[in-house]
């Protein structure tokens, strides 16, 4: 956090005014509160003495603390398109994520705990729902922030738009990694190199471990957009080894390399986010030839005097053409953001074509409303449907039908203040001809209510 202190030295020549705090993030590690070392920059908020605790005996070292508390109720009717009584279930998630960071001009120690539980789920509890107590993050960092940094230990990762690697913050237990990461920043460019293993969550106390079956490496370059040049660019190569991968085509060891490029930015009321992926490698003796194209385009406008965004998202995600033909075509999204296609999380980004129009409205006094619809088709008739975790939820069978269904989504959110937000979400999935052809095809209804506090 030394960069913030250097800015303070330059700012000493000018009149000081209270500074806006950094935005709260899902990973929390890049929020810079070093400016609080200067009393004139503080706003007198109750949380400032907690975010910046000076250590007088250690020169410019200081402690920072933070916390997230989340309470979330979810309920399904006909979960998994099933008419069975167990498919109607609801539950309550709770989660606490406290952290402490020891900061020095060119070094940092960051520790964040995870305490997560689930109550009332008739369908049972998994390690993605409950982790009684464990280390979510615990890393050491050396170097000058925003110039050259080396970070090693357990950490949350977020790259690009999280289509491939994200912290999976929506589900109750986030996805952490035991990894070493080197970052170099020069001008508008940032280059990251990383090697590590995903953390395998377990439901007990301090029992999470690195996944011995999976390893990840990454080279990721980003050029940030600017006022004069609104076009941002990502270029990357990501490697995954999985000793126990499984698809409809079979199971076995997988070595997969993803090559990708992303164009993103915003100007004159338009925003865009386009990404192209190609995957090569081997799976259980077969070659991997998979690909995907993702897009998200938006237009800012005004409806009834209210700020709004009209959006259109579209994805084409390859599936496998024929099992046993010596080539696997199923795209692997690696470690994507949770609840990829909406709050209900029924489908994941495998073997799909989707079209997703949406409308977001900024209402008054912190209220916001978002409405959307998603139409799903199978990209390949030779492959089935998968959930967000990559589990096969509906095999292709003998069906040649591709249309999987239509999902309608609505979310009403209230940002009470910087620290507290509430959200009510509903979803309805109307089953399509493929689901009707291959098994249970009840329409699915979903409802969630969430309250979150952060400082």
- Name the least confident of 17-21, 54-58, 210-214: 54-58
Instruction: Report if residue 399 sits inside a domain.
Output: yes
For 419-439, b where at least 16 C-beta lie within 10 A, e where not — what string? bebebebbbbbebbbbbebbe
Tens-digit pLDDT profile for residues 41-55: 999 999 999 999 999
**Segments forming the whole domain that contains residue 421:** 257-263+274-326+334-455
pTM: 0.92
Whether residue 9 is predicted with pLDDT greater than 70 in this model: the reply is no
pLDDT bin (cut points 50, 70, 90) of residue 17 is confident
Question: How far apart, in whole angstroms, are the C-alpha atoms of residue 369 and residue 425?
Answer: 10
pLDDT on residue 56: 74
Whether residue 1 is predicted with pLDDT greater than 50 in this model: the reply is no
Whether residue 157 is predicted with pLDDT greater than 90 in this model: the reply is yes
- What is the DSSP secondary structure assignment for residue 284, as one 8-state letter? T
- Element at 2 (helix H, strand E): helix 2-11
pLDDT bin (cut points 50, 70, 90) of residue 160 is very high
Q: Where are the beta strands (DSSP E) in 36-106?
A: 53-54, 62-77, 89-104
pLDDT on residue 4: 44
Counting the structural domains of the chain, the total is 1
Q: Which residues pair with 246 in a beta bridge?
A: 251
Side-chain-side CA neighbours of 254 within 13 Å: the count stands at 29
Instruction: Report if residue 197 sits inside a domain.
Output: no
Question: How far apart, in whole angstroms, are the C-alpha atoms of residue 269 and residue 21?
Answer: 26
Side-chain-side CA neighbours of 29 within 13 Å: the count stands at 22
**Dihedral (Cα; 259, 177, 26, 142), 10-degree rounding:** -100
Instruction: Report if residue 420 sits inside a domain.
Output: yes
Q: Which residues pair with 44 in a beta bridge?
A: none
Instruction: Report if residue 73 sits inside a domain.
Output: no
Q: C-alpha angle 334/67/118, rounded to 5°?
A: 60
Mean pLDDT to the nearest integer, 380-387? 98
Side-chain-side CA neighbours of 8 within 13 Å: the count stands at 20
- Name the least confident of 9-18, 105-114, 342-351, 384-393: 9-18
Q: What is the CATH number of the domain that holds 380?
A: 2.40.160
Percent of the chain with pLDDT over 90: 91
Question: How far apart, in whole angstroms, are the C-alpha atoms of residue 234 and residue 156?
Answer: 20
Instruction: Report if residue 393 sits inside a domain.
Output: yes
Burial (Cβ within 10 Å: 0-12, 13-18, ≥19) of residue 398:
exposed
Instruction: Report if residue 405 sits inside a domain.
Output: yes
- Name the least confident of 4-13, 217-226, 232-241, 294-303: 4-13
Instruction: Report if residue 384 sits inside a domain.
Output: yes
Instruction: Report if residue 312 sits inside a domain.
Output: yes
């Amino acid at each position: 956090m030394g960069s913030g202190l250097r800015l303070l030295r330059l700012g000493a020549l000018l009149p000081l005014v209270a500074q806006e705090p950094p935005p709260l993030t899902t990973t929390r590690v890049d929020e810079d509160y070093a400016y609080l070392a200067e009393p004139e920059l503080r706003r007198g908020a109750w949380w400032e003495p907690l975010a910046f605790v000076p250590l007088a005996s250690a020169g410019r070292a200081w402690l920072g603390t933070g916390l997230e508390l989340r309470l979330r109720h979810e309920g399904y009717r006909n979960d998994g398109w099933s008419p069975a009584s167990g498919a109607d279930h609801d539950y309550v998630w709770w989660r606490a994520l406290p952290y402490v960071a020891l900061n020095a001009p060119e070094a940092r120690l960051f520790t964040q705990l995870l305490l997560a539980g689930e109550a009332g789920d008739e369908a049972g509890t998994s390690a993605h729902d409950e982790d009684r107590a464990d280390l979510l993050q615990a890393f050491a960092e050396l170097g000058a922030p925003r110039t050259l940094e080396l970070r090693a230990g357990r950490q949350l990762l977020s790259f690009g738009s999280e289509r491939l690697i994200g912290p999976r913050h929506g589900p109750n237990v986030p996805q952490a990694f035991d990894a070493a990461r080197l970052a170099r920043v020069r001008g508008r460019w940032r280059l990251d190199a990383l090697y590590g293993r995903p953390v395998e969550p377990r439901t007990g106390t301090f029992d999470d471990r690195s996944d011995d079956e999976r390893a990840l490496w990454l080279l990721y370059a980003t050029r940030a957009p600017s006022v004069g040049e609104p076009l941002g660019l990502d270029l990357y190569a990501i490697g995954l080894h999985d000793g126990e991968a499984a698809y409809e085509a079979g199971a076995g060891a997988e070595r997969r390399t993803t090559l990708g490029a992303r164009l993103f930015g915003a100007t004159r009321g338009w925003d865009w986010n386009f990404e192209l992926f190609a995957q090569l490698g081997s799976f259980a003796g077969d070659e991997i030839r998979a690909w995907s194209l993702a897009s998200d385009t938006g237009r800012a406008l005004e409806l009834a005097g209210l700020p709004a965004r009209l959006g259109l998202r579209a994805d084409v995600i390859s599936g496998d053409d024929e099992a046993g033909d010596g080539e696997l075509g199923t795209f692997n999204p690696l470690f994507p953001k949770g609840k990829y296609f909406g709050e209900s999380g029924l489908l994941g980004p495998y073997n799909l074509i989707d079209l997703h129009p949406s409308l977001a409205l900024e209402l008054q006094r912190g209220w916001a409303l978002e409405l959307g619809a998603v139409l799903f088709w199978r990209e390949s008739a030779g492959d089935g449907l998968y959930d967000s975790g990559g589990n096969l939820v509906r095999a292709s069978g003998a069906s040649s039908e591709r249309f999987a269904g239509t999902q309608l989504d609505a979310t009403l959110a209230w940002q009470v203040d910087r620290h507290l937000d509430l959200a009510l979400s509903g979803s309805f999935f109307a089953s399509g001809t493929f689901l009707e052809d291959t098994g249970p095809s009840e329409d699915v209804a979903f409802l969630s209510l969430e309250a979150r506090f952060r400082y």
